[in-house]
Structure 1
Amino acid sequence: MSLLSFRGVSVRYGSHTVLKDVSLDVAGGEVVGLVGESGSGKSTLARAAVGLAPVTTGEILLDGRPVPNRGRARPVQMVFQDPYSSLDPRMTVGESIAEAMRERLGKEARRAEIARLLALVHLDASRADDLPVRLSGGQRQRVALARALAARPEVILADEITSALDVSVQGAVLNLVRDMRRELGLSMLFISHNLAVVRYVADHVAVLYAGEIVEYGPTARVLGAPQHDYTRHLLAALPGAVRRTSSGNGRPAPTSALKEQT
């Protein structure tokens, strides 16, 4: 399990500052939720970690060393928001997953590994021969997760991975995230504007406002007793039921309740 660290990261495009001096740790085996309104810089932070956005100042480290963003064996993998554009429509599910594998395997070993990865995301091995057009949005997002896992990453960056999905399948994908964390011990930065979703999956929450982290702490504390006005604003903007997505004993709400609230 690895530690992903953002240290004083700023991203500027010309005179426009998207991120300003952001510092954040994603500890080994933890899910850290990153929340904020559209335009706050959430996706830019994730994209900077995988080399898709320029870091103007600061550094991004994995276990104290700069994150490598070249070559096949990239230890930090990103899963994007839109499951309909993240997969090549001309490639089968199996081909997309195989393309991300670190090793070049023989035909039988490759099929076995593809089947294993599909099982991890709760899809039948027969889906390996399907093109993305034959899959639902939720199934495509599962394939995108399998593809990220194929690279054997140490950290996954999940960027609004449920926001483009129907409410009816959001809960299944969130349960999958929890299963992956438990079974694989992955570290994950889980980006979302939906506080109910974040509360369901995250150990800690960072609140991003206008490119700066204004609050950070354990999920129950940040969402249960927020200290910053912006965090209180985000909570106040939600229906009252959403702010009670965990039971009195602190455990996450059942999936059925989460579906009703999202």
Structure 2
Amino acid sequence: MSALQVDELTVRYGRMTAVDRVSLQVAPGSVTGVVGGSGSGKSTLGRAVVGLAPVSGGRILVDGADAKSLRHRGAHPVQLVFQNPYASLDPRMTIGASVAEALPRMPGPQRRDEAARYLDLVDVDPAYLTRTPDTLSGGQRQRVALARALAARPRVLIADEITSALDVSVQGAVLNLLRRLQREAGFAMLFISHDLAVVRYLCDRIAVLDEGRLVESGPADEVLRDPQHETTRTLLASIPARPAVPGGQEAAA
């Protein structure tokens, strides 16, 4: 059974079809990369899976159960980490409160301790619990957003271009952190990106979107070694001549 199963998913905005009958599966403990150019529908797909975009057709299952029904019962087995770390955190809340908000009900002191534990898990100093987002760097904010998502104990994590707004010097550290956490916690992940170099580093499988349609999918090694669709070949040709994950330390991140 797949942790995430998307069957014939369609998302429409008026007459425009943003996602057109897309089907994919993400096995427990695995990472599927969703790639495509601007406007291909990849971010809309991720938002639909987590319930933030209107579903016009198809179904979304998490461990075999309907995702919408799970949300109606108060369960949130799918969590999304947004692209922009400067917009994803409430500027009026401390980062400790933001992380604690995702935790199950528990006494106040225990919630604080758990929030501190999740910050430590993503390599943010727990002493920052009382800070507000405006005092953090972009890399730190993205780590806090990741901590908040993990605090909800998701079965599936959706990461939507989570390093594209960060400096190159910070991207590698955040990607390495994400890879380590995914392997340790074993959650399934849908990793959305336009960068095949990053997808190659993180993902077990690749799904390629073009104009809202799934045009190619398969094991990452096979898709990258022998791409069958022109969109995939174009994305491969655009990989810069640098390592998939930049080296160096994450300064002030």
Matches within 5 A, 1:23-172: 23-67=23-67, 68-70=70-72, 73-101=75-103, 103-172=104-173
Cα distance, 1:254–1:22 mapped onto 2, change above 3 Å: closer
Structure 2 CA distance, aligned partners of 1:71 and 1:113?
24
TM-score by length of 2: 0.93
TM-score by length of 1: 0.90
Sequence identity (%): 60
Q: Aligned Cα RMSD in Å?
A: 1.8
Local SS of the residue matching 1:86: coil
- What displacement does 1:238 show? 3.2
Structure 2 CA distance, aligned partners of 1:61 and 1:161?
24
Residue 168 of structure 1 aligns to which amino acid in structure 2?
S
1:72–1:151 CA contact under 8 A, matched in 2: no
Identify which range, 160-169 or 65-74, moves more after superposition.
Answer: 65-74
- What displacement does 1:116 show? 1.1
Structure 2 CA distance, aligned partners of 1:72 and 1:126?
31
2:198–2:245 CA contact under 8 A, matched in 1: no
1:73–1:151 CA contact under 8 A, matched in 2: no
1:160-216 deviation line (CA, Å, top 9, x unaligned):
100000101000000011111111001100000111111111111111111111111
1:256 maps to 2:247? yes
Local SS of the residue matching 2:23: strand
Structure 2 CA distance, aligned partners of 1:2 and 1:134?
40
- What displacement does 1:107 show? 2.4
Residue 98 of structure 1 aligns to which amino acid in structure 2?
A
Matched positions, count: 247
Which residue in 1 is equivalent to 2:11?
11
Structure 1 CA distance, aligned partners of 2:45 and 2:73?
21
Local SS of the residue matching 1:111: helix
Structure 1 CA distance, aligned partners of 2:133 and 2:2?
32
Structure 1 CA distance, aligned partners of 2:66 and 2:151?
22
